[in-house]
Amino acid sequence: MSTKASDTLDAGNAAVSFANDIVPLFRPLDVQCMKGKGVFLISYDYMKDPDNAKDVLERLEPGAGALRMPQGGPYWSDESLALFQAWINGGFQP
């Protein structure tokens, strides 16, 4: 069984903050592109919804096919994906 990058952060790490840790991962181009599709990447009110956050994570991960973000790359590192997953697991801290 393979270990996903999202499994590499343990619960002992400091809380991951949306404003400080997640928002900086999104490029302005990504924010504008996804806004046009009704996905508000840097809106805490939008992203704190578990369904929205999980949808974004699925689009960021390898295997998303044509829906993979950011469109055309460069794609997020395993560490960035793990950080996003840790934010979700940590309760969507602002």
pLDDT digits (tens, 9 = 90+) for 22-77: 999 999 999 999 999 999 999 999 999 999 999 999 999 999 999 999 988 999 99
Whole-number pLDDT of residue 71 = 87
Q: Enter the pTM of the model.
A: 0.83
Residue 77 lies in a domain: yes
Residue 79 lies in a domain: yes
Residue-range definition of the domain harbouring residue 44:
14-89
* Overall domain count for the chain: 1
pLDDT band at residue 13, thresholds of 50, 70 and 90? low
Provide the residue count of the chain. Answer: 94
Sole residue written with tokens 């934010």: 87
Residue 6 lies in a domain: no
Residue 40 lies in a domain: yes
Residue 36 lies in a domain: yes
Whole-number pLDDT of residue 1 = 32
DSSP 8: S
